[in-house]
Chains A and B, each alone.
Chain A
Amino acid sequence: MKEISSAIQLIPLENYIVLSIALFSIGMMGVLFRRNTIAILMCLELMFNSVNLLLTAFSAYHSDPSGQVFVFFIMIVAAAEIAVGLSIVVMMKRNVDSVDINLLNRLKW
């Protein structure tokens, strides 16, 4: 326990912020980059996780457990969203027979 407390002390907060931002932008790059719907959903997960990390880091540095509870809720929401999102992907495959995201273009003028 004591080691863990001292371990936290050693790592400055900026590192976590930069790491989180890097992960977030990588995730965003992935969302714009990939054409496969499932891959897009995975990159979305990456973005979620970066936010989780940041929240936990702040919560640790303020000794406030509310941050970690919030991460908990984010995980809940992410799980629900993935469930629904993947069923949409299944339906999409059934309708247009591919998971290419550019084929979903009926919502036009």
Chain B
Amino acid sequence: MIFLFYLLSAIMIICGLAVVFSKNPINNVIYLIVCFLAMAGHYILLNAQFLAVVHIIVYTGAIMVLFLFVIMLLNLNKAIILRKSTVTRVSAVITGGIFFLVLLAATRQTFEIHARYPFASDFGLVSGIGKVLFSEFLLPFEISSILFISAMVGALMFGKKDV
């Protein structure tokens, strides 16, 4: 099982780096999709089955498709490849590295957290999540519908030619 974990992590990290460093926007999207699939694998490893499926449906199925739509709409694959200056890119990489190290240092103390055994075997199922969602988190759930409506309205407004 650990082997599975390491495999999935390796795929994720390599694809993440590829997202950052690739030039073609379509390639970007493809690498990200692969990354998300690996993420879904991680979810299953953690027994969050509902979440894994939702992840694939929402992220991979909707959001990435939306990205592809917009890229093709704007005809970006024929665009000039834009690059920042070398200094900026090097400093960006260095900043990322520093950030990684700092956060690692910051979370060092959490390495002593021990898990609480035993794990319930049904806690990642739909019923378990549903129970918590509709009892404790009912209000955010309803308000998220308003959030979606406003997002829709906003997106529509932006899309019009003459506002």
Contact = CB atoms under 8 A, between A and B. Distances in A.
Interface of A: 1-2, 4-11, 13-15, 17-19, 21-30, 32-36, 38-39, 41-43, 45-46, 49, 52-53, 56-57, 59-66, 68-69, 71-73, 75-84, 86-91, 93-94, 98-100
Given A76-B147, A93-B74, A99-B74, A53 B154 contact: no
A11 B6 CA distance: 10
Task: State the main secondary structure of chain A at its contact with B.
Answer: helix
Contacts of B91: 32
Interface residues on B, range: 35 or more
B155 interface: yes
A71 B51 contact: yes
Contacts of B132: 65-66, 69
Contacts of A88: 158
Interface string B1-26: 11001000100110011011100010
Contacts of A15: 5, 9
B82 interface: yes
Interface in B1-60: 1-2, 5, 9, 12-13, 16-17, 19-21, 25, 28-29, 32, 35-36, 39, 42-48, 50-51, 54-55, 58-59
B78 interface: no
Given A30-B20, A66-B132, A80-B151, A59 B48 contact: yes
A76 to B, nearest CB: 5
A68 B137 CA distance: 12
Contact of A32 (B47, B92, B111, B121): B92
